[in-house]
Structure 1
Amino acid sequence: MKKIFFTAFFFSLILTSIANNFTESDRLRGHWSLERFAYKVHFYDLAFELFPDEKRISGQNTIHFTLTEETEKIQLDLVPEINITNIFWEETGLHFERNERAVFVLLPENMQLNKRYKITVFFEGQPPEAINPPWQGGLVWSEDKYENPWIGVAVQSDGASMWWPVKDHFNEKADSVRISCTLPDSLDCISNGQFLKKQQLENNRKRFEWLISYPVVPYNVTFYAGKYHFFTDEFNSVNNKKVDLNYYVLPHNSELAQKYFKQVAFTLDCFEQFFGPYPFPRDGYKLVEAPYAGMEHQSGIAYGNQFKKGYLGYDLTGSNLELDYIIVHETAHEWWGNFITAKDIADIWIHEALATYAEILYVECYFSEEAVKKFLQQKRQGIRNDRPIRGTPGYFDKGSQDMYTKGAMIIHTLRSAIDNDSIFFEIFNSLTDKFAYGHIDTDSFIGTINQTTQNDWSDFFDFYIHGTKLPVLEFKKTSRRRNVTIQYRWSNENAKLNFPVKVKLDGKNYAFIQPTDNWQEIKITRAEFKEFKVDTNNFLIELNKRN
């Protein structure tokens, strides 16, 4: 009984310590609280008007939902910079309270469980401007080279509530969203999904309507405003469905874009080989030129890479390959991030690890083995090991930017340790079958890998994603008469590491060893021995040679 008491007490101290590292704002943004899980959103009907000269937005969002749990209030989210003027249920005004971003809406007493309702939120104000999009987000109020307004949204790291009232949590996907955008008639408004209609209005205004017909997480809902040229292409998916490829670029880039975007079909073709059919065929695939580098908005990807290979012309591959980072990386997010979405921003490392590993698979599709090797080396050089790549769930806490490079190298190390591509790529099939259009977290991600491979990789992932060190393979060589003995072990304390790595002793062929935290040894004749070479290109580990 005392043991149970002290265990519970110690656990409570850990939770208190974690909570003390975060603010009330972090909790309000990150907790999957009763006020959030008590209702399921089915449909957002978002209508807004843009005033570029004032950097202002006004509009309304009608939220169709089912009440699933008993609650007196529900939580929406919207930054304090934007006012909420009214919230209506039918013709009844609802009382609401605001606490930083959180908007708590008091529900009528006669609302019933498992019944559909709708409320409409009216809002207006000046959304925060993005400081460094897409990394520090908000609205991007820019101009094209002819000084026409050019506006975009970049809010993945900051939340959809930067510009519209919404249930702003990764763990909620509306089944569908209609976007109605009104703006000066000299401009176009492009959004996710299917184009529905365009309507000329009074006072030199114009309205565009779009429909996202698949489940979508709020930060992926977007718009682009500017003067655009539209052209289209078509992609034949592996499931024999035709996917519309829709492109919106600034008019002076039209001729260049029509040639340059031919690579999109190659990208989709490569990824369908590994990940299955493009997941949003009804809504099509869209690249929209944006006033910032890029973002994976579902079926409406922001493209701002200036039609240059690499990242804004900077080579990321080590081989100067013809690879547009934004097209390849953001297209991969259509599967990893949009089709399958993290339950909490703490688990967004799954999105970025898999999308970054997709870049490596793209190089495998179209370039040489040597190019793949150099690309892996480049990824490894970018790892900082400054913080864990997984954040703390429940507090809107992201992990380190290492989630890209280190995350991809973790996935590649897993592939190398499995040493069977049929099994490794079956992991992707298992994930897309199990979590299609839904949510995933770290535990379910690892659980699916364990189930698919029939092996337990829990300690492997726990070490890599929650720590800031790499596994250290410690070894020492002794020579006696005609034999060479290599002793080896994992030297990380309390790491519980137990996965194989490849080594070479004869200078010819790699073979597996299975290190643990205990010393093991292998022997080879002096005549056969060349050197103890560890495959650090394919395994994300460090070496420590002892004398």
Structure 2
Amino acid sequence: MRPTLLALGLAIGLGLAGPTLAQAATPSQSPLTALTKDSGTPMPAEQKRVHFDHAELHITVKPATQSIEASATLTFSALASTDVLLVDLDRNLPVSAISVDGKALAKSAWSNPEGRLRIPLPHAISKGNKVVATIAYGGKPHVAKNAPWDGGFVWSHTKDGQPWVGSAVEGEGCDLFWPCIDQPDGKPDLVDLYVTVPKPLVAPGNGVLVGVTEQGDTRTYHWRAKHPTTYAISINVGPYQELKGEYHSRFGNTIPLHYWYLPGEEAQAKALFAEFPQLLDFFEAKIGPYPWGDEKMGVVETPYKGMEHQTINAYGNHYAKDGSGFDWLLQHEFAHEWFGNQMTNANWDDMWLHEGFATLMQPLYARWLDGDADYYAWLHRLRLMIANRHPVVSGQPRTEEAVYDESRGGPGQDIYNKGALMLQTLHHLIGDQAFYASIRELVYGRPDPKPGNFTPQYRTSADYMRIVDRVTGKDYDWFFKVYLYQAALPKLDVQRHGDTLGLRWQVPQNLPFPMPVEVQVDGTVHTVSMEGGHGSLAVPAGALVTIDPHSVLLRDEPRITAFQQWMKQQRAQRKAAKP
């Protein structure tokens, strides 16, 4: 999802200077309604009555006027009898016509005052029947102020002045440019996307390219994608050049590789493209089959930082180097093909399932490439950025923006950093085999995924807790209830009395926390079981003692708190010194 910027180092992660993105200034525009601005507001009963079968989207992109002209033909199956369709669409994209099952509705029939388009059906449909609505609409889509963190369309230009357009709508949702069900679990089964652009521009899209047609001075690209995440349908327009290749998977299938980049960047583009096969090999070795192997692994250069648009990941890292040996942004967004697109949180409150797992994949990938030094360097950077202001999971439905907004009680960046380090602790606790078995169950819904034998999954935190218990044969609810549902980290109190080392966990609300603790005594590692949250170990006088020598415990550490407070003071001083 939104890139966390963690891999750019502490300067960005702790709130100092960030990157400058090449995008046009935001023109004056009508404000979004509260309903449109927040993705994942409570789903109305009318939307729960239907299943989203198919979306056929025709979108003409007009860079000269920063506008679109569009139509959407939406097919739904009734899960219960209904006489109305509700779809989400920004009211700032006026609807000019609607037909239902081929019959035009009077303009007075539909309404869209707040961004939820209400379409009455001429006749009620019963459970099991289908209805098809075609909606003609258009105008100036909402322009992003700072994509992808503040979403919308980005209207930009290449260095030689050619149009360069991208969409990034994860926070605000799909309704910023197409009529949809703006919920994590509102995915259509199939999307046919037709994007019409002025020649000679190119329009890379989601899924498989069905064909390209030309008419006068325009061309239309037809893309087809299965089960796309709602916000992952994307518009990309530019004078792109393309690199193509194939990856021969360890699972026996062949995956098409595509990278669309801007002219003049061939050498850098080829270097980035060379990372694609090893990325695929890592994820398939650690997690399982690439979920969209019968479509493609696609990446497109965008005029904003990045976003995990399914099979067409947005990349705007400017080929930056950071010493890690791989492009952190490419790797992070690609991880979301598993954690976000194949496995999707059923509600935004469980968003750590996307970001925590995707973030952990970066230190694991660094270790896979270059060993333990890079692995621990990554983990240490993550640890310094954990805020612990609010629980990672509230246990209540949330919108996407509420999760990111700490002022509204959201965990913010902790879904990335704390989520990843919690999982690293779990990995050590339950062991390699059980940990990866739990991930496969979470992502694929089965222990033996192979190309073609799994379907996309909607998941909750409770689902993952049950999976871990089932895979291990033990009850680990105590682990998740502390790390996910409490803001403060557990603190380890260490006391040494004579030849005895005493250990006691101090946990919010005195919750059970029998987390074993490794102690190294003069080079020998001992494991203290900590039943009841406390334990002891005989330690000879004068022995050198190191608590948690392999840095596997996510816990409160005074040295880190002191550093974070110092950094906060430094920021305040710099702010006060500005004229």
- When normalised by structure 2's length, the TM-score is 0.83
Q: Deviations over 1:12-58 (max 9, x none)?
A: xxxxxxxxxxx777899421331221100111100011111211111
% identity of equivalent residues = 25
Aligned to 2:199: 185
Matched residue of 2:330: which SS?
helix
Query: What corresponds to 2:27 in structure 1?
Result: none
| CA deviation after TM superposition for structure 1 residue 80, in Å | 2.1
Spell out the pairing of 1:349-360 with structure 2 (5 A cutoff).
349-360=352-363
Match of 1:225 in 2: 237
Measured against aligned partners, the alpha-carbon deviations of 1:144-167 in whole angstroms (never above 9, x if no partner) come to 111111000111111011111111
In the superposition, relative to structure 1, how do residues 518 and 298 fare at CA in structure 2: closer, same or farther (>3 Å)?
A: closer
Specify whether residues 128 and 339 from structure 1 end up closer, same or farther in structure 2 by C-alpha distance, changes over 3 A only: same
Within-5 A mapping of 1:87-126: 87-89=98-100, 90-93=102-105, 95-126=109-140
| Residues 292-303 of structure 1 mapped to structure 2, 5 A cutoff | 292-303=304-315
Mapped to 1, the partners of 2:510 and 2:93 lie a distance apart of 48
2:86 maps to 1:75: yes
Instruction: After superposition, give the CA deviation of every residue in 1:241-288 in whole Å (9 maximum; x if it has no partner).
Output: 110101111111123212331011111101101111111112111111
Which stretch of structure 1 is more off in the superposition, 328-337 or 256-265? 256-265
Which of residues 302, 324, 327 is equivalent to 1:324? 327
Preserved CA contact (<8 Å) 2:92 2:140: yes
Report the AA paired with residue 393 of structure 1: P
CA distance in 2, matches of 1:468, 1:225: 43
Does the 8 Å CA contact 2:167/2:234 hold for their aligned counterparts? yes
CA contact (8 A) 1:496 1:517 kept: no
5+ residue gaps, structure 1, are 1-22, 310-314
Equivalent residues in 2 for 1:352-501 (5 A)? 352-390=355-393, 392-396=396-400, 397-398=402-403, 399-418=411-430, 420-434=431-445, 436-479=455-498, 484-501=499-516
Partner of 2:406 in structure 1?
none
User: Which stretch of the first structure deviates more once superposed, 111-120 or 392-401?
Assistant: 392-401
**Partner letter of residue 150 of structure 2?**
Q
**Equivalent residue letter for 1:207:** T
1:53 matches 2:56: no
Q: Which residue of 1 aligns with 2:48?
A: 37
1:181-203 C-alpha deviation (Å, 9 max, x unpaired): 1121131111111112212213x
CA change 1:26–1:467 in 2 (3 A) is: farther
**AA at the equivalent of 2:472:** T
Deviations 1:357-386 (A, max 9, x none): 111221121111122112111111121223
1:244 to 2:247 alignment: no
In the other structure, the counterpart of 1:526 is: 541
CA deviations 1:201-247 (Å, max 9, x no partner) are 13x222111111x2112101112101010120110112111101011
Q: Give the AA of the match of 1:187.
A: L
Q: Which amino acid aligns with 1:485?
A: T
Q: Is contact 1:274–1:428 with CA below 8 Å preserved after alignment?
A: no
In structure 2, give the amino acid aligned to 1:164.
W
How many Å separate the matches in 2 of 1:84 and 1:270? Answer: 46
Q: What's the TM-score, normalizing by structure 1?
A: 0.88
Q: CA deviation at 1:112?
A: 2.2
| Structure 2 partner of 1:13 | none
Larger RCO: Structure 1 or Structure 2 (Cα < 8 Å, ≥ 6 residues apart)? 2
Q: How far apart are residue 177 of structure 1 and its match?
A: 0.6
Give the 3-state SS of the residue equivalent to 1:364 in structure 2: helix
* Letter in structure 2 aligned against 1:510: V
Structure 2: gaps (5+ residues): 1-33, 404-410, 447-454, 560-579
Q: Which moved more, 1:339-348 or 1:23-32?
A: 23-32
Q: Secondary structure at the match of 1:107?
A: strand
- Shift >4 Å, 4+ stretches: 23-29, 516-519
Distance change in 2, residues 1:323/1:27 (3 Å): closer
Question: In the aligned structure 2, how far is the partner of 1:542 from the partner of 1:358?
Answer: 23
| Secondary structure at the counterpart of residue 58 of structure 2 | strand
Whole-Å separation in 2 of the counterparts to 1:199 and 1:340:
34
CA distance in 2: counterparts of 1:69 and 1:488, whole angstroms: 57
Between 1:60-69 and 1:97-106, the stretch displaced more is 97-106
